[in-house]
Amino acid sequence: MVPGKALELKILQLYIWSINAKRSIDGCRVATVARHGSYEVRLVEPLLDPQGDTIPFWIELFDHKNAVTIDSCGGHDFEETAAGAAALISQASLLHRDATAGNQRAISAFSGPEHVRSRLPACAIQVA
């Protein structure tokens, strides 16, 4: 199956699943499309606006570490939605890679010779 078509099918499956899912506290239903570390790309059921033209499919990139939506996009069909989801998945992967590389640099800074580490304050040796 073509990668774009596979993502379209996954979005369709998640959309059908989300119809039967319980609503969250804010009244929306959410289904995970992909996750890289604390970065989740998810299908979100948009709130219906009776006076507006609601986009039927909404995808967002959510940062669980900071509990914030970083980016989002919508689409009127599966092809458009899958293209947006692919971009957000790529962004999530890059963010996770950068966060992981940042942690590795912090760990490397404290993995020098023992005589150097012994002069550091105890709290500086602990890496979260």
| C-alpha–C-alpha distance, residues 57 and 42, integer Å | 11
In a domain? residue 56? yes
Antiparallel, parallel or unpaired: β 57-63 and 39-44: antiparallel
In a domain? residue 120? no
pLDDT at 126: 33
In a domain? residue 83? yes
Q: Provide the domain limits for residue 47.
A: 3-101
Reported as a single tens digit per residue, the pLDDT across 43-86 is: 888 766 667 677 888 999 999 999 999 999 988 888 899 999 99
In a domain? residue 49? yes
In a domain? residue 97? yes
Strand ranges for the chain from DSSP E: 30-36, 39-44, 57-63, 68-75
* pLDDT over 70 (residue 19): no
| C-alpha–C-alpha distance, residues 48 and 38, integer Å | 28
Helices (H) and strands (E) in the chain, counts: 4, 4
In a domain? residue 117? no
User: Looking at the 3D structure of the chain, how many domains does it have?
Assistant: 1
In a domain? residue 13? yes
